[in-house]
Amino acid sequence: MYKDLSDYRKVYIKKELLKKDLPENPLELFQTWLYEVENSNNSGEHNAMTLSTIGIDGFPKSRIVLLKKITWEGFIFYTNYTSEKGKAIDVNSNVCLSFFWQNMEQQIIIKGKAEKIAENLSDGYFESRPEGSKLGAWASNQSEIVKSKNDLDSNLKKFEEQFENKEIPRPKHWGGYVIKPQSIEFWQGRPNRMHDRIRYDLQKDFSWKVDRLAP
């Protein structure tokens, strides 16, 4: 199979990223960009982000997860703690997040450390989930090999019967992580591939150093 993609071209012209317009804290700029993409005409999942971990096999692995909360500490998402990503984080908490908003010609790359959030915070979010999502957290041994889809369906049915007309508690193997950023890079597409790249690096006194990077 062969396909040549070398003629694919896009000219980036929508915005520019000027250092004089930057806030001191990158989380403020992140929230501004997220607000703008939410109010654009793009109907996609704006909170979808790529999470990259270093697996226990030594290979990096990336997958899409959903950002559920932003705090001054960092970026929160939820998952099965015994999943492949959870096991990877247990061994190496260094992770990378990336957002790509094509219609805004923007991407954001975040390097940081993953930590489990407090159990009561995970409980609170779990309670807000639809019943089917709660049951799915019980029924799926995420990332484990299964013999067939029927086995998954049977496991789901088992928990549907177990929790019928009952409150569904959060399983202990499921909860949230906060990614505490150490660097955040903002990329704004520009003409002639002279893209704007601004990187914030966290300093020991918790201030942020701001640099412009070559595209």
Q: For residue range 19-34, what is the model confidence (pLDDT) as tens digits?
A: 889 999 999 999 999 9
185 pLDDT higher than 90: yes
Residue 180 has pLDDT above 90, yes or no: yes
- Quick one: pLDDT band at residue 14, thresholds 50, 70, 90? confident
Q: Are strands 208-213 and 196-202 parallel, antiparallel or unpaired?
A: antiparallel
**What pLDDT score does 188 carry?**
97
The tens digit of pLDDT for each residue in 112-171 reads: 999 999 999 999 999 999 999 999 999 999 999 999 999 999 999 999 999 999 999 999
Mind listing the domains of the chain with CATH numbers?
19-129+172-213 (2.30.110.10)
CB burial readout 12-42, b (16+ within 10 A) else e:
beeeebeeeebeeebbebbeebbeebeeeee
pTM: 0.93
**Rounded distance, CA 147 to CA 155, Å?**
12
Pair of tokens at residue 95: 């992770």
Residue 88 confidence (pLDDT): 98
18: β partners: none
Other Cβ atoms less than 10 A from the Cβ of 145: the count is 5
Residues with catalytic roles: 193
For residue 97, give both structure tokens. 């997040």
Helix (H, G, I), strand (E, B) or coil at 161: helix
